Amino acid sequence: MEHRFLGASGLKVSEITYGNWLTHGSQIEEDAATACVHAALDAGISSFDTADAYADGAAETVLGRALKGQRRQSLEIFTKVYWPTGPKGPNDVGLSRKHVMESIDASLTRLGTDYVDLYQAHRYDTGTPLEETMQAFADVVRSGKALYIGVSEWTAPQLREGAALAKRLGVPLVSNQPQYSALWRVIEGEVVPASEELGLSQIVFSPIAQGVLTGKYRPGQPVPEGSRATDTKGGADFVKRFLRDDVLQRVQDLAPIAAELDLTSAQLAVAWVLQNQNVASAIIGASRPEQVAENVKAAGVVVPLPLMERVDEVLGDVVERDAARTAANAPKTRPA
DSSP letter for each residue of 104-123 = HHHHHHHHT-S-EEEEEESS
**Active-site choice (18, 54, 119, 180):** 54
Full domain range(s) for residue 290:
3-328
Res 284: pLDDT: 96
Res 239: pLDDT: 79
Res 258: pLDDT: 97
Res 236: pLDDT: 63
336 within some domain: no
| Distance, CA of 322 to CA of 199 (rounded, Å) | 23
334 within some domain: no
Res 100: pLDDT: 98
Task: Verify whether residue 54 is a known catalytic residue.
Answer: yes
Domain total for the chain?
A: 1
Res 25: pLDDT: 65
Tell how far CA 193 is from the center of its chain.
19
Res 140: pLDDT: 98
Res 113: pLDDT: 98
> CATH number of the domain that 69 lies in?
3.20.20.100
pTM of the predicted model as reported, rounded to 2 decimal places: 0.94
Res 21: pLDDT: 87
Res 223: pLDDT: 73
Q: DSSP for 133-172, please give it.
A: HHHHHHHHHHTTSEEEEEESS--HHHHHHHHHHHHHHT--
Which residues in the chain land under pLDDT 70? 25, 27, 224, 226-236, 334-336
